[in-house]
Structure 1
Amino acid sequence: MTRIAALSLDQAPAGSRAALEGIQKGLGFIPNVFKTLAHSPAALSGYQSLAQALGKTSLSAVEREVVALAASEVNGCDYCVAAHAFFGAKAGLSEEAVGKARMGTLSAVAALAHQITESRGQLSDAQITAAHNAGLTDSKIVEVVAQITLLTLTNYLNNIAATDIDFPPSSN
């Protein structure tokens, strides 16, 4: 049972409605996480702004989904694991790759995302060196941290709200 209601478009504050309409237009439906974020127009807008900015980093769509899966697994967010397994598959990840991303074993990006989330950013020198040795640049490391930050918002919100999982969407 949800603990924070997912608002319909009509129930959402006026400041959230345009964002929700844009999400519906882009995805064909409004995921419950956004209906929950809609309680705070500022939070919804902040999420969207950061997500849009992170779409322009050097991380590929697959890498962003890998980070999302690793962080969501560590943070115990079943909603985001389901959502990003769906989006990861759309980006080209196999079911096996999704599982490895969740465990942080798929790639250097997955390992780094898992380590950062698990340690709350308290990485050792050896872990940073390993990331560099695996080919991750300082800018890529910063971008992984930023992507984790985005996911932490939705992971924590969904865990607190007990958001009903609506992935895979029934309309797709």
Structure 2
Amino acid sequence: MTRLAALTLEQAPAGSRAALEGLQKGLGFIPNAFKTLAHAPAALNGYLALAQALGKSSLSGAEREVAALATSEVNGCDYCIAAHSFFGAKAGLSEEDIRQARSGSLSAVAALARQITESRGQLSDAQIAAAHEAGLSDSKIVEVVAQVTLLTLTNYLNNLAGTAIDFPPSAH
């Protein structure tokens, strides 16, 4: 059951409309998660700014989806699992890759994202050393933390709101 309304473009506060229009143009529809986030223009625009910045990080699109899937699994966000399974497949992940990403076993990025989420960032020295040994630089570790942070926002919001899942998208 949806507990916070997913706003239409017309219902959205003025400060959210340009961002929603950009999502409509880029994706061909406005996902319910963003229609819900639109209640707070600062939150919507902040989320999109961080997502855009992370798109320029050293993490590949597939690695960002892997981190999103691992984080969303730990946080129990069915909406984000559906959305990032869709986007992960578009980034080249197989169904098995997606399953392994969710469990944290696909890669060092998946394992680290899952550990960060499970421990709320309280990793042991051994876990950080293992990430380094698996080839993750300090820069990549920070970028995984940022990706986990981005997903935690939408995971928590969707869990709280009961956002209706609209992935995979139908013809809109």
**1:59 maps to what in 2?**
59
**Which 4+ runs in 1 deviate beyond 3 A?**
none
Please give the per-residue CA displacement for 1:97-129, whole angstroms capped at 9, x wherever unaligned: 000000000001100000010010010011000
Amino acid aligned to 1:168: P
Percent sequence identity over aligned pairs: 81
1:93 Cα deviation from its structure 2 partner:
0.2
Amino acid aligned to 1:25: K
Please give the per-residue CA displacement for 1:17-48, whole angstroms capped at 9, x wherever unaligned: 11100000000000000000000111100001
1:171 Cα deviation from its structure 2 partner:
1.5
Determine the C-alpha separation between the residues in 1 that align with 2:4 and 2:169: 21
Determine the C-alpha separation between the residues in 1 that align with 2:146 and 2:84: 17
Determine the C-alpha separation between the residues in 2 that align with 1:167 and 1:95: 15
Determine the C-alpha separation between the residues in 2 that align with 1:91 and 1:167: 15
Alignment gaps of 5+ in structure 1: none
**2:108 maps to what in 1?**
108
Determine the C-alpha separation between the residues in 1 that align with 2:42 and 2:109: 30
**2:46 maps to what in 1?**
46
Matched, 1:99 2:99: yes
1:147-166 matches, cutoff 5 A: 147-166=147-166
Q: TM-score, normalised by structure 2?
A: 0.99
CA root-mean-square deviation: 0.7
Matched, 1:168 2:150: no
**1:121 maps to what in 2?**
121
Determine the C-alpha separation between the residues in 1 that align with 2:13 and 2:109: 37
**1:16 maps to what in 2?**
16
Number of residue pairs aligned between Structure 1 and Structure 2: 172
1:157 Cα deviation from its structure 2 partner:
0.2
Amino acid aligned to 1:55: G
Amino acid aligned to 2:44: L
Q: TM-score, normalised by structure 1?
A: 0.99
**1:78 maps to what in 2?**
78
Determine the C-alpha separation between the residues in 2 that align with 1:157 and 1:14: 21
Please give the per-residue CA displacement for 1:118-147, whole angstroms capped at 9, x wherever unaligned: 010010011000000000000000000000
Secondary structure of residue in 2 paired with 1:92: coil
Amino acid aligned to 2:54: L
**1:139 maps to what in 2?**
139
